[in-house]
Amino acid sequence: MTVIKALTIAGSDSGGGAGIQADLKTFQELYVYGMSAITAVTAQNTLGVQGVHPLPARFVVEQIDSVFSDLRPDAVKTGMLYSSEIIAAVAERISRYRVDKLVIDPVMIAKGGTSLLKSEAVEALILHLLPLALVVTPNIPEAEVMTRMEIRTIADRREAARRLHDLGAANVIIKGGHDAVNDMITDIVYDGTSFTELSERRVDTVHSHGTGCTFAAALTAQLAKGTEMREAASIAREFVQAALTDTLGIGSGHGPTNHWAYAKHKGVIV
Ligand SMILES: Nc1ncnc2c1ncn2[C@@H]1O[C@H](COP(=O)(O)OP(=O)(O)OP(=O)(O)O)[C@@H](O)[C@H]1O
Ligand SMILES: Cc1ncc(CO)c(N)n1
């Protein structure tokens, strides 16, 4: 049996719904062996983020080196990176290890409003990391910050995707979860040539903590297996839709999505 492996470089969410925990659960559900390099530890639950404690950049690098020197991953995902020091260090290692399947989820702000990326680090993310991306997966506010444009319509999303591609990301997926207007939620996938729209019915739930991490982790798992970009994005979309629909209903705030739901509904592992 060939074991497919993926590495997530991200922050820890003590509540288990987002960050490293969401990534590893998602990898596991999709039969990918999960590994982690933790950038920051958050004290977090369904009510919000109570504390953030970043790790030194050199210790993030030490974790990455430990993984690569022994367990070469088939794909790498980044999530919360917190500072420009951590971003520069991660980018250097991604280049050094010639990672060709890098998924960047440009995590900036938690749902309750806590910053997970210092504002000074946005430029570093764009300059150092974006050019290394096989795919970047911003939500609408993150895409607005990175492109410095306002995104209202699907045409705006396409323009933002073109700009992020021009900044160096080979593929761009702009997620539509923050579109409060429509009953359908549309993610757009841009490969530098053509656009694909992934539309699903909006799930009306407060239990949506970690959707972004879960989407990018499912995408990473599929890319690690060799699935092509559009198909991988479509499976990731399906994974999140199931995780939002078959809700766990735990916690008294914005609860986690259900990482078991996809396999349960499919009955088989893809
Ligand atoms: N209410 C919803 N119903 C259906 N799909 C949703 C809903 N909210 C988000 N999604 C989907 O979940 C994925 C993540 O999208 P979203 O825009 O919420 O990312 P995000 O803001 O980065 O997530 P997070 O809140 O974890 O930071 C996308 O595939 C999006 O289409
Ligand atoms: C650690 C961590 N990463 C990402 C997110 C975004 O959902 C979060 N809330 N916490």
Evaluate if residue 113 carries a pLDDT over 90: no
**CA distances from residue 11 to 174, 224, 262 in whole angstroms, order as listed:** 22, 21, 24
Residue 63 domain-assigned?
A: yes
Residue 266 domain-assigned?
A: no
Q: Output the CA 201–ligand 2 centroid distance in Å.
A: 24
Mean pLDDT along residues 20-39: 98
Please, are residues 145 and 109 in contact by the beta-carbon 8 Å criterion? no
Query: What's CA 131's distance to the chain center, in Å?
Result: 17
Taking only the tens place, the pLDDT of each residue in 77-102 is 999 999 999 999 999 999 999 999 99
ipTM reported for the complex, 2 dp = 0.98
* Residue with CA closest to ligand 1 atom 20: 212
Residue 183 domain-assigned?
A: yes
Q: Output the CA 108–ligand 2 centroid distance in Å.
A: 9
Residue 194 domain-assigned?
A: yes
Range of the domain at 46: 5-255
What is the number of domains present in the chain? 1
Q: Output the CA 177–ligand 1 centroid distance in Å.
A: 4
CB 212 less than 6 A from any atom of ligand 2:
yes
Cα–Cα distance between 61 and 52 in angstroms, integer?
19
118 vs 215, residue with greater confidence: 215
Q: Give me the chain's average pLDDT, please.
A: 96
Residue 260 domain-assigned?
A: no
Please, are residues 258 and 248 in contact by the beta-carbon 8 Å criterion? yes
Q: Can you give the CATH number for the domain in which 225 is found?
A: 3.40.1190.20
Mention every residue, 6+ apart, whose C-beta is less than 8 A from residue 102: 75, 76, 77, 78, 94, 132, 133, 134, 135
Cα–Cα distance between 215 and 12 in angstroms, integer?
17
Residue 267 domain-assigned?
A: no
Residue 34 domain-assigned?
A: yes
3 state SS of 194:
coil
Residue 263 domain-assigned?
A: no
CB 9 less than 6 A from any atom of ligand 2:
no
Evaluate if residue 270 carries a pLDDT over 80: no
